[in-house]
Copies of this chain bind each other. A is one copy, B any other.
Amino acid sequence: MPSQPSTPRGQQTRQKLLDAAEVVFGETGYERAGIVEITQRAGVAQGTFYTYFPDKKAIFIELVKELSHRLRREIAIAVEGLTDRIEMERVGFRVFFTFAHQHRNLYKIVRQAEFVDEDLFRWYYRLLAEGYVRGLSQAMDVGQLRRLDPECLAYCLMGIADFLGMRWVLWNDERPPEAVVESMLAFIRHGMDSHPPTQGQETQGG
């Protein structure tokens, strides 16, 4: 019967386990990762794991949920106050790439979720998509964006972010180079914007 620890010592141990699991799952992959590895890295006995989590999956789920909250919060904070949707995308993408680069392991963990707990995986993307759909719809309503199926657009944008993150952050361990980011932003700007600027003006940002 694992539970929320009532003492600070317990809190700390639980956190050590989460930190260790983040690394181990990220580096080794969920299936190949073992509880032993996690507890060793956390510096506790094997059995201690089960004081805090009922099983291997539970800690994985917790990590994904944590990531979901952190990422969405960071983006929300970063775009707060912005009114131009294109600008929001520029900022949002940058936050995402930075986050992924700083938390490679967490980032890799979500990708695996599809094969660990499909419901969790869908939950993650649906939540992300919901926020997107709201924002995009509003921008369409006020004429900022071309009128397109907002859910479709949301998944397009998430797909772009995901693949650029995979290609540059995961494979090259860097944030996507400026040229790439600018190309991508130009692509989505023209793709979405209802009044795209003329070509000479586009790259002043960034």
Q: Which A residues are closer than 8 A to B by beta carbons?
A: 1, 29-32, 36, 111-112, 114-115, 122, 125, 146, 148-149, 151-153, 155-156, 158-164, 166-167, 171, 176, 179-180, 183-184, 186-194, 196, 199
Contacts and interface: CB of A to CB of B under 8 A. Distances in A.
Contacts of A152: 164, 176, 179-180, 183-184, 187
Nearest to A187: B191
25 contacts: A30-B115, A31-B32, A31-B115, A111-B114, A111-B115, A112-B115, A146-B199, A149-B179, A149-B183, A152-B184, A152-B187, A155-B163, A155-B164, A156-B160, A156-B164, A156-B184, A159-B160, A159-B162, A159-B163, A162-B162, A187-B192, A189-B191, A190-B193, A190-B196, A194-B199
B122 A156 contact: no
Given A146-B190, A155-B167, A190-B193, 4 more contacts: A115-B115, A153-B187, A159-B159, A191-B192
Contacts of A156: 159-160, 163-164, 184, 187-188
B146 A186 contact: yes
For this chain, the copies found in one complex come to 4
A45 to B, nearest CB: 11
Nearest to A162: B159
A155 B162 CA distance: 9
Contact of A171 (B122, B149, B163): B122
Contacts of A32: 31
A32 B115 CA distance: 10
